[in-house]
Chain A
Amino acid sequence: MAVVKVDKLARSVVEGPSLMTGSIPTRDWMDIPVVFKPGNYAYPTKPNILEYLDSLEGVSFPNAREWNPEDDDWKLPENWKEIIINGLAERLGKFRSLKIFMDCCVRCGACADKCHFFLGTGDPKNMPVLRAELLRSVYRQEFTKAGKILGRMAGAREMTVGVLKEWFMYAYQCTECRRCSVFCPYGIDTAEITMMLRELLHLVGCGINWALEPVANSNRTGNHMGLTPQAFKGNIDFLCEDIENLTGIHIEPSFNRKGAEVLFITPSADVFAEPGLFTCMGYLLLFEAIGLDYTWSTYASEGGNFGLFTSNEMMKKLNGKMYAEAKRLGVKWILGGECGHMWRVVHQYMDTMNGPADFLEVPKSPITGTVFENARSTKMVHISEFTADLIYHNKIKLDKSRNSHVKATFHDSCNPARAMGLLEEPRYILDHVVDNWVEMPANTIREQTFCCGSGTALNTDEIMELRMRSGLPRANAVRYVADKHAVNTLACVCAIDRATLTTLMQYWNPDVEVCGVSELVGNALVIEGEKRADLTEGLRTMVF
């Protein structure tokens, strides 16, 4: 039946409709083992990180050990297979979507050539349909009659160490960007299948450090970097000094202030690393310009939530921290900065995990009076929604000529675009802060946007080549507008993007800089009492 068609599909996508070259792979995809070598895998989690996480309440990260993906022996627990199969059974019972995704794929192939990992590598196992098949084949074997009886003929296979290794390879060559799901007639979300693969791998202690160390740090000190409250505050104070030097505007932000109207949360990368720093300066200037009654928190000092890339329980725990802090401080609502996956968690999972946040008020802009009905339940408003509303009501003064050095294009970050539908607001802001910006080609933006290639904790340097090839579809579209329209700036609304697109551009399009939309707002803002130097590069200008 339909099931058998999957290797035909693999072949026909691999070979193209005409089967033109005759170089049909001699082996079926199931028979091609994965080979780990330096550069094609991210480093495993350090045992002390796993031990720490496993000691926390409500989450489980067992089987900490030193192991190396390049070794034959992964030092798996003796009953690893039982753990995996039981883990899968548990998840099939818990998540209805998983069961549906396992059963309803018709192998139409619509998703096959839509993944940036496939497009950059040409590896058939990076076709979303085959990525899912890595799990589905085991599901069939263990949980369907046809699979049990017919085995491989029904697309089923035994769970072996080889299969487990394959999972580790391909669950970490998926950025959970959900581009494939846009094209699937059944709405199968391969990102959620990847999430399940990663959860199952964690059961036997196989995860990557770049995901779990930030998770551990976030849980412990509040942010990915493990920055202490003093360091966090210190960095923001530095930024305020810079702002004063550049614009003459003196800002004294408050921290952990009880009774503030709004709690502001952004990815910690905005506070400590270029080019996010400039985006952060943009926020600070904007809030000063409108006199917002807000506070930073040194406890909820991270918008990012690498729990999303780790496990359901971990995501819940880290998300809960933001709301716990909002409650403790007694604010009315939360304003969120330019982050990608924080918004996916808030928009798609928060309500059922930790919501509804009844102790907060429905967000209402104190400046325009606009009630953000879309955030009625989560009580959290995106900075772009907030800023666009200010512009719409003419509450801030903007001078586009202050961005005359910028010729921009806009990258829709996967999560805001596909998971929360934030498509128009950043564009509306760009229309008002820069003279000149152009769209990239239609099949690379909005819902069809191409991922930066480094999301879901794949933004680590040991897999640099992999990141460069998976980011190629994005970079290729940027190259087009850079050549055609002399674009020199790639604007976005995600902190991972700001960091990883910078590296991606350095490789593919070295003349293009990356910035947050709020940086461009900060550049253009005209504030009463300012004593602005001639800032030829906006907030990036070096003044001495």
Chain B
Amino acid sequence: MVTDLKETLQSNKKKILSLWVDRTLNSYIASGFFKSSGDRFANPVGVNIREGLTRLFDLMLAGADPKEMLAPLDQVIRIRAVQEFSPSQAVAPILELKWVIRQVLGSGRNKRPPAEELDNFDCDVDRLALLAFDLYTECRELLYKNRVHEIKSGRYILTDSACASALAGNKKTGCAGVETS
């Protein structure tokens, strides 16, 4: 039954989380520092990702509503959405939980849980991954909105309208207003 699987997951929580966090942080070249420093202000990437994944795992075990998962998911995805990852790499850690769980449950004295129980849990993971994808897209849209907002709120308008040299189109003046296209 599903409950049994959850109990098994609960008792292996430490191992699962440790592997899950490790794999996620391994996607950074400097993973060592991100993994080792526990100061949330000195190491925002490492600590937020660790905390986010931990909370997500707890919420999944508790069968929480997807809405409750948004905050911890945000903790992970908002960071990865502005780092040098492709969209798939940015959300990949969520899907990797499936692999991590099989890895941990398949080792040591653990008995591999029946396939259909795992299937159910996998569905939860898939749902979470889809949620992550929504969030990722939201973050990216926000970035572009902010870009537009910055361009609109100042410089561009002024260099194009208020600069006499720009209007005159004088190349030697150094005012590039006319060249913004």
Contacts and interface: CB of A to CB of B under 8 A. Distances in A.
A20 interface: yes
A406 to B, nearest CB: 22
Nearest to B48: A476
A231 B158 contact: yes
Contacts of A441: 41
Nearest to A506: B146
A217 B151 CA distance: 18
B36 A228 contact: no
Contacts of B26: 21, 23
A40 B165 contact: no
Contacts of A424: none
What DSSP secondary structure best describes chain B's contact surface? helix
Contact of B176 (A16, A48, A224): A48
Interface in B93-120: none
Contacts of B154: 225, 269, 272-273, 499
Given A48-B176, A226-B163, A468 B40 contact: no
A14 B32 contact: yes
B62 to A, nearest CB: 22
Contact of B35 (A16, A118, A273, A480): A16
A272 B42 CA distance: 35
Contact of A122 (B45, B162, B172): B45
A507 B146 contact: yes
Contacts of A220: 165, 173-175
A539 to B, nearest CB: 17
Interface residues of B, number: 51
A465 B143 contact: yes
A119 B143 CA distance: 20
A92 interface: no
Contacts of B123: none
Interface string A501-527: 001001110000000000000000000
Interface in A457-484: 461, 464-465, 468-469, 472-473, 476-477, 480
Contacts of B45: 119-120, 122, 472
B171 interface: yes
Interface string B148-181: 0111011100110011111000011111110100
Contacts of B166: 226
Contact of B30 (A55, A122, A464, A472): A122
Contacts of A499: 150, 154
Interface string B32-68: 1111110111111100100000000000000000000
A220 B175 CA distance: 8
B44 A472 contact: yes
B22 interface: yes
B29 interface: yes
A52 B32 contact: no
B174 A503 contact: no
A241 to B, nearest CB: 18
Given A461-B151, A507-B142, A48 B42 contact: no
Contacts of A464: 143, 146-147
Contacts of A52: 172-174
A37 B75 CA distance: 26
B162 A118 contact: no
B4 interface: no
B42 A113 contact: yes
Given A121-B84, A122-B45, A226 B32 contact: no
A291 to B, nearest CB: 31
A123 to B, nearest CB: 6
A444 B28 CA distance: 23
Nearest to B162: A231
Nearest to A230: B162
29 contacts: A12-B32, A13-B30, A15-B32, A16-B35, A21-B22, A21-B26, A21-B35, A23-B31, A46-B176, A52-B174, A112-B33, A119-B42, A119-B43, A119-B44, A120-B83, A122-B30, A127-B30, A220-B174, A225-B154, A225-B158, A227-B162, A227-B163, A231-B158, A269-B154, A272-B158, A465-B83, A472-B45, A503-B146, A503-B149
List the 9 shortest-distance A-B pairs measured between CB atoms, nearest first: A16-B32, A52-B174, A122-B28, A216-B174, A273-B154, A15-B32, A476-B44, A231-B162, A16-B36
